[in-house]
Amino acid sequence: MHRTLSVASSPVRDLLALTSRPEVISFAGGLPAPELFDQDGLRAAYDLALRDRSVLQYAPTEGNPVLRSLVSHRLTGRGLPTSDVLVTTGSQQALSLVATALLEPGAVVAVEEPTYLAALQCFQMAGARIVPVASDADGLDPDSLRSVIAAERPALLYLVPTFANPTGRTLSASRRAEVAELAASHDFWVVEDDPYGELRYRGSAVAPLASISDRTIYLGSFSKIGAPGMRLGWLRAPADLLRTFGIVKQAADLHTSTVDQAAAAAYLTHNDLDAHVTRLCVAYGERRDAMIAALPSTVPDGTTWTDPDGGMFVWLRLPGDVDSAELLKDALSHDVAFVPGAPFFATTPDHATFRMSFTTNTPAEIFDGMSRLAKVLR
Amino acid sequence: MHRTLSVASSPVRDLLALTSRPEVISFAGGLPAPELFDQDGLRAAYDLALRDRSVLQYAPTEGNPVLRSLVSHRLTGRGLPTSDVLVTTGSQQALSLVATALLEPGAVVAVEEPTYLAALQCFQMAGARIVPVASDADGLDPDSLRSVIAAERPALLYLVPTFANPTGRTLSASRRAEVAELAASHDFWVVEDDPYGELRYRGSAVAPLASISDRTIYLGSFSKIGAPGMRLGWLRAPADLLRTFGIVKQAADLHTSTVDQAAAAAYLTHNDLDAHVTRLCVAYGERRDAMIAALPSTVPDGTTWTDPDGGMFVWLRLPGDVDSAELLKDALSHDVAFVPGAPFFATTPDHATFRMSFTTNTPAEIFDGMSRLAKVLR
C-alpha cells in the first residue's frame, strides 16, 4: 500500500460537534451572530445576480471583475491602496494557495504564538516547519522575531495583526514598522491575515502592514462582515505573485462560485456595507463589554485575560497547574463551552489557556453562560 | 529570495481569452450550453434556500447532509451503491484533494494519454511524475497499463472512463474489469473522473469502475448536468479515505459554499433533474450529429476522428506533419476556434491532434463554424 497523508482534524471543529446541542451556550466557535446577517439584502442580491444566466457558467480563475474592483476600491478607502485582488474561496483557500506556492517541504514558517490553528494545519500539510515567535499585549515581539530570523531564516511570517485569533491583540504601529523593515532586509514574505480588521469597537484604526511593506500578502474576507456561508475571500499581493497564486488556484478549484461572487458584487453595489459593519460593531461591542464585565466574577483570582479593541475573541490564562481541556468537560456538563488553548500553540502548548468568543451570543446569553462557567471555574 | 513555485497557466484557459470575441464561433472551451441552464429552477432554488438564514453561516466540511444524501441516492440509482460522499468545490477540488492526500513528491501517476490537462497540472503541482498509458477506440489499453505497472509501480491511475476529455472515448466493460483486477492485485488507487457520464446520446450505460472496484475514488460533478458556476462536485471513496479527504479539504477551504450547497439540495428536491438531463441529451445529441455530419467536408482527406456516444468532445488527427497550434491562428482569423491537442499529452505531444467541443453551439452555429474551419483546414 502506498502512503496516505497522515493528518489530524481540527480539534476546534471536532469540538463544535459537541457544543451544538441547543441547550449549550457556546463561547467556542468563531461564528458571526446569525441574527445579524443581512439576510434580506443578501437574498435580494442573489436574486438580482441570477437574472443573468452567465452567473451559472464557468468563469475566469482570478474572479468576477466587478467584485475585484469593488473590493480593491474598498481596501483603498480603508488606507490600503489596491489595484487588484484574487478572489478566493474564503480566506482559508488563500492560506492554502500561499502554502502551495511559497513553501517547499522543510521551509520554515514563523508564526505569532498562539495563532489561528487552521493556518498551522495548512503550513504543516505543506511540509513546513513552524517556528513560534513570542507575543505580548502589543502583539508579536520584534526582538523574538529577530532571534527567529537569525536562527531559522524563515521563508514566511504568518500573523493576524489586528484583533488576532485567538488573543484579540493588535500589533502596534511601531511594531508594524519594525516587522516591515525586517521583512525587507531579511527577504521573507509576511502573510497579513485580516478577517477582523473592520470589527473595531474602540480606538483608532492602525494602518495595515501591507500599506507599509511590499513584502506583504494581505488576506481579506467577507466572512465576518458579510456572511461566511458564501465562502468569499480575497488576496492582495505584488502583481507577479498574484499571477502565481492565480495559477495555483486554477488547479485548486478552477474558480470560486460564479453565483456567490456575482451576488456579493450585487450586494456591494446596492447596499451600504459600511452601515452594516457599523451595526455589527455596535452589537458586538456590547457583547464584548458584557463578557469583559462578567469575567471578574466568573474566573478564579489570578486569572489573566486580554482586553480586545475589536474582533471576536478574549484569551484567558488560569492560575495554577490546570488543563482547560479537562475543564471543558465539566463546562459541557453545565451546558457552556469554550475552546481549550493548547491547539493554538505551534510547539509547546500552555494548557492553562483558553479562548472565548463573544460575538455569537447576546449580552443576556453571555450573562447566563458566564454564570454557568463560574460554577466550573471558581 | 526564497523560491516560489514554478507553474504554468493552462493553455486552454489562456486560449479562452482569445476566443471570447463575440464574432468567434468557438469549439474550444468545454462549456455547457448556457441557454440550456435551468435558470428559473435554479433561481427559485436559491431563493428558497435563502429563506433559512443558516445557509449564510459556516458549515461542516463534509457538506450539506441533505445534498450528500440526495447525491448518494442518485448515484445508487445509477448503479453505484453509495452511502456517503464528500461535497467538493467542483470536481477540480476533488482532484486537488486526491493529489494532496495520496501523492508524495516523486510518486508516479499513470494517466490515459491524452487526458484532461487540469488533472495533469494538479498532479504536477504535487510533485508527481506522470507516466502515460496508451489508449485506443475502447479507451485505455490494459496491456499498456500492465507494462507501466511493471516498470513504474504507480500510486494512482487517473482516467475519465466515460466520454473522456479530450477524446470522447468510453472504456469498455471488459477493460473496466481488467483495470479493477489490476488495481486490486497491484495495490494502486484508481481515480474515476466522471463529469460526463450522464450525457449519453446513444447506446447503453457501462457500469462505473467504482461499482466493481473498491480501490476506486469516484468523482462526480453538478457542472455538466446542472451549472458549473455553482462549483459543486462530490467524491465517493472508502470510508477511511473519505475522512482523510475531508481533513485535507478543511485546510483547503473549510467547506464549500453553504448557499450553493443548499440551493442544489433545494433544486434536487423540487425539480426533476433526470428530465433536465434528458433535455440536455436531446439537444447535445443533435449537436454531436451536426458536427460529425459536417466533418467529412471540413477536414482534409486522411484526417481521423473519434465518434463519441456522449459527452462534449470530438478528438481529431490531421494527416501529415502539421501543428494544430499554428492552424489555430489561421482559424481565429476566420473567427472560428478549437483547442490544439498538444497540452493534453503528459509527455510527447502529437501536434497534429486537436479537440472540438460540440455542446456550446447550436446545430446552425456548428454548420457555420465548420464552413469557416473548412477554409483553414482544406
Chain B closest-CA separation from residue A320 CA (Å): 34
d(CA A259, CA B16): 20
d(CA A38, CA A47): 14
3-state secondary structure of B142: helix
pLDDT of residue A19: 72
Interface test with A, best of B54, B247, B256, B276 (most A CBs within 10 A): B247
pLDDT of B138 over the 90 cut = yes
Q: Report the residue of chain A nearest B231, measured CA to CA.
A: A257
Interface test with B, best of A4, A191, A230, A244 (most B CBs within 10 A): A4
Chain B closest-CA separation from residue A301 CA (Å): 35
d(CA B361, CA B93): 28
Categorize the per-residue pLDDT at B7 as very low, low, confident or very high, splitting at 50, 70 and 90.
Answer: low
pTM of the predicted model as reported, rounded to 2 decimal places: 0.96
Q: Give me A123's grid cell.
A: 503550513
pLDDT of B3 over the 70 cut = no
Chain A within 8 Å of B56 (Cβ-Cβ)? yes
Percentage of the residues of chain A whose pLDDT score is greater than 90:
91
pLDDT of residue A137: 94
Residue among B31, B51, B105 whose CB faces A57 most closely? B31
Interface test with B, best of A20, A247, A359 (most B CBs within 10 A): A247
Chain A within 8 Å of B224 (Cβ-Cβ)? no
Are A260 and B258 inside 8 Å of each other by CB? no
Write out the DSSP string of B67-113: HHHHHHHHHHHTT---S--EEESHHHHHHHHHHHHH--TT-EEEEES
pLDDT of residue B218: 98
Q: Give me the long-range contacts of B63-69 (CB less than 8 A, separation at least 24).
A: B63/B87, B63/B234, B63/B255, B63/B256, B63/B261, B64/B258, B64/B261, B64/B262, B64/B264, B64/B265, B66/B262, B66/B265, B66/B269, B67/B261, B67/B262, B67/B264, B67/B265, B67/B268, B68/B234
pLDDT digits over A341-368, tens only? 999 999 899 999 999 999 999 999 999 9
d(CA B219, CA B165): 14
Chain B within 8 Å of A9 (Cβ-Cβ)? yes
Are B29 and A58 inside 8 Å of each other by CB? yes
Q: Report the residue of chain B nearest A241, measured CA to CA.
A: B4
Are B2 and A255 inside 8 Å of each other by CB? no
pLDDT of residue B29: 87
Q: Give me B189's grid cell.
A: 488507487
pLDDT of residue B1: 39
Categorize the per-residue pLDDT at B15 as very low, low, confident or very high, splitting at 50, 70 and 90.
Answer: low
pLDDT of residue A1: 38
pLDDT digits over B295-321, tens only? 999 999 999 999 999 999 999 999 999
Categorize the per-residue pLDDT at B265 as very low, low, confident or very high, splitting at 50, 70 and 90.
Answer: very high
pLDDT of A7 over the 60 cut = no
Are A92 and B253 inside 8 Å of each other by CB? yes
Q: Which residues, listed in sequence order, are joined to residue A217 by a DSSP beta bridge?
A: A191
Chain A closest-CA separation from residue B296 CA (Å): 31
pLDDT digits over B85-100, tens only? 999 999 999 999 999 9
Are A230 and B90 inside 8 Å of each other by CB? no
Are B7 and A244 inside 8 Å of each other by CB? yes
Return the higher-pLDDT residue of B11 and B261: B261
Chain B within 8 Å of A29 (Cβ-Cβ)? yes
pLDDT of residue B117: 87
Chain A within 8 Å of B107 (Cβ-Cβ)? yes
The interface predicted TM-score (ipTM) is 0.96
pLDDT of residue A15: 59
Chain B closest-CA separation from residue A296 CA (Å): 31
d(CA B101, CA B249): 10
Percentage of the residues of chain A whose pLDDT score is greater than 70:
95
DSSP letter, residue B200: B
Q: Is A131 exposed, middle or buried (0-12, 13-18, 19+ CB in 10 A)?
A: buried
d(CA B332, CA B348): 26
pLDDT digits over A252-262, tens only? 999 999 999 99
SS (H, E, C) chain A: CCCCCCCCCCHHHHHHHHCCCCCCEECCCCCCCHHHCCHHHHHHHHHHHCCCHHHHCCCCCCCCHHHHHHHHHHHHHCCCCCCCCEEECHHHHHHHHHHHHHCCCCCEEEEECCCCHHHHHHHHHCCCEEEEECEECCEECHHHHHHHHHHHCCCEEEECCCCCCCCCCCCCHHHHHHHHHHHHHHCCEEEEECCCCCCECCCCCCCCHHHCCCCEEEEEECCCCCCHHHCCEEEECCHHHHHHHHHHHHHHHCCCCHHHHHHHHHHHHHCCHHHHHHHHHHHHHHHHHHHHHHHHHCCCCCCEECCCCECCEEEEECCCCCCHHHHHHHHHHCCEECEECHHHCCCCCCCCEEEEECCCCCHHHHHHHHHHHHHHHC
Q: Which residues of B touch A244 (CB under 8 A)?
A: 4-5, 7
The average confidence (pLDDT) of chain A is 95
Main-chain dihedrals φ then ψ at residue B109, nearest 5 degrees: -115, 125
Q: How many CB contacts within 8 angstroms connect chain A with chain B?
A: 221
d(CA B273, CA B266): 12
Percentage of the residues of chain B whose pLDDT score is greater than 70:
95
Residue among A56, A187, A228 whose CB faces B227 most closely? A56
pLDDT digits over A83-108, tens only? 999 999 999 999 999 999 999 989 99
Q: Give me A281's grid cell.
A: 460593531
Chain B within 8 Å of A48 (Cβ-Cβ)? no
Chain A within 8 Å of B8 (Cβ-Cβ)? yes
Residue among A10, A89, A229 whose CB faces B253 most closely? A89
Q: Which residues, listed in sequence order, are joined to residue A296 by a DSSP beta bridge?
A: none
Are B42 and A56 inside 8 Å of each other by CB? yes
d(CA A252, CA A185): 33
pLDDT of A190 over the 90 cut = yes
Are B118 and A252 inside 8 Å of each other by CB? no
pLDDT digits over B270-287, tens only? 999 999 999 999 999 999
Q: Is B279 exposed, middle or buried (0-12, 13-18, 19+ CB in 10 A)?
A: exposed
The full set of domains in chain A, from first to last, is 11-38+274-377 (3.90.1150.10), 51-270 (3.40.640.10)
pLDDT of residue A6: 55
pLDDT digits over B191-238, tens only? 999 999 999 999 999 999 999 999 999 999 999 999 999 999 999 999
d(CA A247, CA A242): 9
Whether residue B133 contacts residue B112, with contact meaning beta carbons closer than 8 Å, is answered with: yes
Maximum alpha-carbon separation in chain A: 61
Least confident of A159-168, B2-11, B25-34, B205-214: B2-11
Which residues 293-332 in chain B show a CB within 8 A of chain A? none
Q: What angle do CA B372, B375, B378 make, to 5 degrees?
A: 130
d(CA B357, CA B370): 12
- Closest CA relative to residue A63, chosen from B10, B259, B229, B116: B229
Q: Which residues of B touch A187 (CB under 8 A)?
A: 1-2
Chain B within 8 Å of A13 (Cβ-Cβ)? yes
Q: Report the residue of chain A nearest B43, measured CA to CA.
A: A50
Q: Which residues of B touch A43 (CB under 8 A)?
A: 47, 50-51
pLDDT of B180 over the 60 cut = yes
